[in-house]
Amino acid sequence: MARKYNDAATLLYNTISTGLADVASLFGTTSASQATTTCEKLRHQLGPSLIIIVAAEVAEIVVVLVDDDVLFAIRSGGHSPMPFDASIDFGVCISLENLYKVSYDADTELASLGSGARWGAVYTELDKYNVTVVGGRIMDVGVGGLTLESGLSYLIDLYGLVCDNVVNYEISNLVSTDNTGGSNNFGFVTRFDTKTYSLVECWGGIQVFTPDQTPALLKAFHAYQTAPNKDPCANMIINLVPINGTTMLTFVYLKPVERPAAFAPFYALTPVFEQTGFLTLHQLMALFPLAPLPRLTCADSVRAGRASNGGVENALGLQAVDQTWWSVSVSWGDAADDAAASMADKIGAAAAAAGAKLDYIFMNDAYSNQSVIASYGEINVRRLRDVQKVYDSDLVF
Ligand SMILES: Cc1cc2nc3c(=O)[nH]c(=O)nc-3n(C[C@H](O)[C@H](O)[C@H](O)COP(=O)(O)OP(=O)(O)OC[C@H]3O[C@@H](n4cnc5c(N)ncnc54)[C@H](O)[C@@H]3O)c2cc1C
């Protein structure tokens, strides 16, 4: 085995330094022997034997890896918390972080996003043209993983999921129109061409509440979430912070309207801290340092996604009904505590008992033991397999 990794490292180094020097570089290695030594050292640790940062064409590198039977992983923003989702033990991790180019074409009103770009850089570039895209809500997350897994944004009730707005996926050299929810199963996506929307000023911000107000906040949240006609410009996130019992509300209203009626159930409560006002969507999102949980969506977002795709449904199998996407973010250090980690099962069972459980699992927040693609339904799984036959007929990915 060691020989294989060392050979692969040397071969890659030679290939890159001769034919691909201008497009790729080996992270932390300056010579073939150093590449080999690095592999040798890393063989005894968990993690990739080699990290390659790609600046342009990746197809040649994949050919080398596949020919030499070397396992590899793909990474864009590196924000997936799943072990080995965007990394690998004793293999090669190909980082797309240098594919960060963002551009805007005023004629087509499309933005081209390099897979390795971060959402903060995307919005900063598009601010120059007073347009935005349906994209991530936390600035440091990568374009590649978020979009390929489907992607939730503040604009979904208006325009559908992030993937619904992608017009072209550049897969290595090919350009495809169908990769919704397929993640890294079809190849390297190097560029996304996506629709843009003009959106200037919004209203929103955060409010923080003391623990004694939690029951009232949950009631208000229920009233907000079950309102018969949801305002598609209104986005609201409730963060229950277990460490000190406080609750943080995040409001994002996609028009410059102060304290819009959509958030009325919360106005009777008194926050201990408030920072709200008129800002651009980019400025508002840049205010929020934490991953917002849980995630919510309404039937409008499913219909809007369909409309964005010219009436064609994406491959996620979403039902056009109001729904709450919940996510539990928790970690623990001792395997003996694994059995206690059954909260997700309990919530799932309670929803099923109430006849309110939907099959769909949101890939972007899923855990590695969840069968995400199977949750899209049989027909959609077949559809994605057909796409795979076109782009990855040898099942490399
Ligand atoms: C702080 C935080 C905030 C978040 N906020 C949001 C949010 O607002 N909306 C939302 O929908 N999700 C959100 N997420 C979830 C996020 O979408 C996923 O974690 C996503 O995987 C991150 O994308 P990345 O490019 O940074 O990931 P990476 O870890 O680089 O990649 C994730 C997966 O995608 C694959 N992949 C990445 N790029 C490519 C490519 N070019 N070609 C083929 N496969 C590729 C990787 O192999 C890996 O399996 C958030 C996560 C965090 C940690």
* Antiparallel, parallel or unpaired: β 102-105 and 110-114: antiparallel
Is the CB of 146 within 6 Å of ligand 1?
A: yes
CB burial of residue 280 (10 Å; 0-12, 13-18, 19+): middle
Per the CB < 8 A criterion, the answer to whether 57 and 20 are in contact is: yes
- CA nearest ligand 1 atom 44, residue: 184
pLDDT in tens, 336-370: 877 766 777 888 899 999 999 999 999 988 888 88
Ordered by start, the domain boundaries in the chain are 2-95, 202-297
pLDDT in tens, 223-251: 998 888 889 999 988 888 777 889 999 99
Residue 255 banded pLDDT, cuts 50, 70, 90: very high
Per the CB < 8 A criterion, the answer to whether 357 and 319 are in contact is: no
* Interval between CA 273 and ligand 1 midpoint (Å): 31
Q: How far apart are CA 117 and CA 99, in angstroms?
A: 7
Return the pLDDT at 49. Answer: 58
- CA nearest ligand 1 atom 43, residue: 184
Q: How far apart are CA 79 and CA 235, in angstroms?
A: 23
Is the CB of 364 within 6 Å of ligand 1?
A: yes
Is the CB of 158 within 6 Å of ligand 1?
A: no
Is the CB of 13 within 6 Å of ligand 1?
A: no
Q: Please state which CATH number belongs to domain 2-95.
A: 3.30.43
Is the CB of 126 within 6 Å of ligand 1?
A: no
Return the pLDDT at 141. Answer: 93
Residue 324 banded pLDDT, cuts 50, 70, 90: confident
Is the CB of 75 within 6 Å of ligand 1?
A: yes
Per the CB < 8 A criterion, the answer to whether 99 and 145 are in contact is: no
Per the CB < 8 A criterion, the answer to whether 71 and 92 are in contact is: yes
Percent of the chain scoring above 90 in pLDDT: 45
pLDDT in tens, 86-118: 877 767 788 888 889 999 999 999 999 999 999
Return the pLDDT at 368. Answer: 81
Mutate to test the pocket of ligand 1, among 54, 71, 80 (most ligand atoms within 8 A of CB): 80
Q: Please state which CATH number belongs to domain 202-297.
A: 3.30.70
Note if the bond before 81 is cis, omega within 30 degrees.
no
* Interval between CA 4 and ligand 1 midpoint (Å): 30
Residue 69 banded pLDDT, cuts 50, 70, 90: confident
* Interval between CA 53 and ligand 1 midpoint (Å): 17
| Mean pLDDT taken over the chain | 81
pLDDT in tens, 148-192: 999 999 999 999 999 999 999 988 645 555 555 666 667 789 999
pLDDT at 11 > cutoff 70: no
Is the CB of 76 within 6 Å of ligand 1?
A: yes
Total Cβ atoms within 10 A of residue 169: 26
Residue 48 banded pLDDT, cuts 50, 70, 90: low
Per the CB < 8 A criterion, the answer to whether 262 and 157 are in contact is: no
The answer to which of 69-73, 151-155, 329-333 has the lowest mean pLDDT is: 329-333
Per the CB < 8 A criterion, the answer to whether 359 and 318 are in contact is: no
Return the pLDDT at 208. Answer: 94
